[in-house]
């Protein structure tokens, strides 16, 4: 409990104890002109008036309930069953903290265990942690796992240029000062054959995205073997929802599978909180960051859950830690558990199929317009690239006026793709809304 000085004598004793003469001396390191700013605050108003003003401000936002979104690029609008929020808002879950004491944390531990089990089934990998902040930090942690596995004897990391550009930026930030050579994020072809040419005996990890940032679905079997032939680890960045339809990375030789769990029952929410998926082979488990929950039996033979392989170095002896990740997105992991449990295998596949078929319908219709071309020549999932007759920003401004969120402007990250739009189509978009989008694009082209 904090001590509150009540009298002048108490205050003087407190100041003397910390070695200053007066309260102003406590702020001597703060510039004088900002110590006690004269705040220009409005007159006080009632709670009812405050709520009215906040309501008016909120209505200035164009949120997904009142707009059709074709914007993806890593965060997607999917239907979330109502049961997800009903479970998340139970106070035993949303107030839960780190489950250090298993005897009072069985519910939280079981939820994490179920999450790990589902992630392993989804990716066809042996082990899952729980979890990371987002997909980008999970990719960065995969690189650190590879460095630790090779005991610092390798320093080359190959990143496909078709990995989300923001993920690659996070990797560079996360690993600065490690003297790594990060290659592959300059201009080059996006095919596996070109990535093979970048591998050598100094490569610690090769990472690709599946489906990639442009929506392409590649067969990485040969690339996986090529990486492992030179002793490098092969990492795959996944869209977990696409795995309801596509072959899981564990079946074509992935050593580490990471990804963004946001499509699994988590709303876009202006960019977070999200969920970083991280799964790997059992032989790398002691190099893996984060927490791992295991199932066991107590002294009475009852099933119980405990934290296993959560190195104390990550919490206390940081200089000996393989990573300083020591927390997890537990509530978001629970959202993914509830979503996947509700949807089941058939439901997840149905959502993935709807995304796939609606995206291809949209691509076909857009490709028929004068001035627009679908850039993708390979199979794609629920995102595709459109070459536009005008700047993407200009097109999106027009679409916004009719409550349509247009696609992502690829010219921001890929200069060669100026005037190219990355369009995402999910199961929440109806055929009529796709037709309206196509009509709007035609109107823009016709001026």
Domain ranges of the chain: 65-78+344-445, 82-339
Q: What CATH number was assigned to the domain covering residues 65-78+344-445?
A: 3.90.1150.10
User: What are 335-369's pLDDT values in tens digits?
Assistant: 999 999 999 999 999 999 999 999 999 999 999 99
**Residues contacting residue 291 through CB under 8 Å, at least 6 positions apart:** 112, 129, 130, 307, 310, 328
- 270 preceded by a cis bond (ω within 30 of 0): no
Percentage with pLDDT > 90 across the chain: 72
- 273 preceded by a cis bond (ω within 30 of 0): yes
pLDDT at position 324 is: 66
Strand 276-280 vs strand 181-183: parallel, antiparallel, or unpaired?
Answer: unpaired
Q: How confident is the model at residue 24 (pLDDT cuts 50, 70, 90)?
A: confident
Give the Å distances, CA to CA, from 204 to 168, 179, 235, 325.
16, 13, 11, 21
Give the Å distances, CA to CA, from 344 to 74, 85, 123, 336.
23, 17, 15, 12
Q: Phi and psi of 130, rounded to 5°?
A: -145, 95
Residue 327's CB is within 10 A of a number of other CB atoms, namely 14
pLDDT at position 1 is: 47
pLDDT at position 15 is: 87
Q: What CATH number was assigned to the domain covering residues 82-339?
A: 3.40.640.10
Does the pTM exceed 0.85? yes
**Mean pLDDT in the chain?**
91
Q: Distance between CA atoms of 237 and 211, rounded to whole angstroms?
A: 8
Question: Which residue did the predictor score with more confidence, 309 or 67?
Answer: 67
Q: Distance between CA atoms of 1 and 10, rounded to whole angstroms?
A: 17
Q: How far apart are the first and last CA of the chain?
A: 68
Is 417's pLDDT higher than 90? yes
Rg (Cα) of the chain, in Å, rounded?
26
**Token representation of residue 199:** 């591998």
């Amino acid at each position: 409990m904090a001590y509150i000085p009540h009298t002048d004598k108490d205050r003087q004793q407190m100041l003397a104890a910390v070695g200053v003469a007066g309260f102003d001396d406590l702020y001597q390191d703060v510039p004088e002109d900002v110590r006690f700013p004269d705040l220009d605050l409005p007159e006080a108003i009632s709670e009812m008036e405050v709520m009215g003003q906040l309501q008016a401000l909120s209505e200035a936002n164009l949120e997904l309930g009142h707009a059709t979104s074709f914007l993806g690029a890593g965060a997607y609008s999917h239907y979330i069953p109502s049961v997800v929020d009903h479970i998340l808002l139970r106070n035993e879950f949303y107030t839960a903290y780190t489950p250090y004491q298993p005897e009072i944390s069985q519910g939280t531990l079981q939820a994490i265990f179920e999450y790990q089990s589902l992630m392993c089934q989804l990716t066809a990998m042996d082990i899952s942690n729980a979890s990371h902040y987002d997909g980008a930090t999970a990719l960065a942690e995969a690189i650190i796992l590879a460095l630790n596995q090779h005991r610092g004897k390798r320093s080359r990391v190959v990143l496909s240029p078709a990995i989300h550009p923001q993920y690659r930026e996070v990797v560079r930030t996360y690993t600065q000062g490690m003297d790594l050579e990060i290659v592959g994020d300059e201009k080059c072809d996006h095919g596996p054959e070109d990535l093979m040419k970048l591998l050598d005996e100094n490569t610690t990890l090769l990472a690709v995205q599946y489906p990639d940032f442009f929506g392409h679905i590649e067969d990485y079997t040969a690339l996986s073997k090529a990486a492992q032939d030179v002793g490098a680890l092969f990492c795959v960045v996944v869209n977990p929802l696409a795995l309801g339809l596509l072959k899981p990375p564990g079946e074509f030789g992935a050593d580490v599978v990471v990804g963004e769990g946001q499509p699994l029952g988590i709303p876009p929410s202006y960019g977070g909180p999200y969920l970083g998926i991280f799964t790997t082979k059992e032989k790398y488990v002691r190099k893996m960051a984060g927490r791992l929950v295991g199932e066991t039996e107590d002294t009475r033979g009852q099933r119980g859950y405990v934290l296993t392989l959560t190195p104390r170095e990550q919490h206390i002896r940081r200089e000996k830690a393989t990573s300083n990740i020591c927390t997890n997105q537990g509530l978001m992991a629970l959202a993914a558990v509830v979503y996947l449990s509700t949807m089941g295998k058939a439901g997840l596949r149905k959502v993935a199929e709807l995304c796939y078929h609606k995206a291809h319908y949209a691509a076909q219709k857009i490709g028929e317009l004068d001035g627009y071309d679908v850039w993708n020549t390979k199979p794609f999932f629920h995102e595709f690239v459109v070459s536009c007759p005008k700047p993407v920003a200009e097109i999106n401004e027009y679409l916004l006026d009719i409550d349509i969120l247009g696609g992502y402007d690829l010219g921001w990250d890929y200069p060669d793709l100026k005037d190219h739009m990355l369009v995402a189509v999910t199961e929440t978009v109806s055929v009529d809304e796709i037709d309206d989008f196509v009509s709007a694009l035609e109107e823009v082209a016709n001026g």
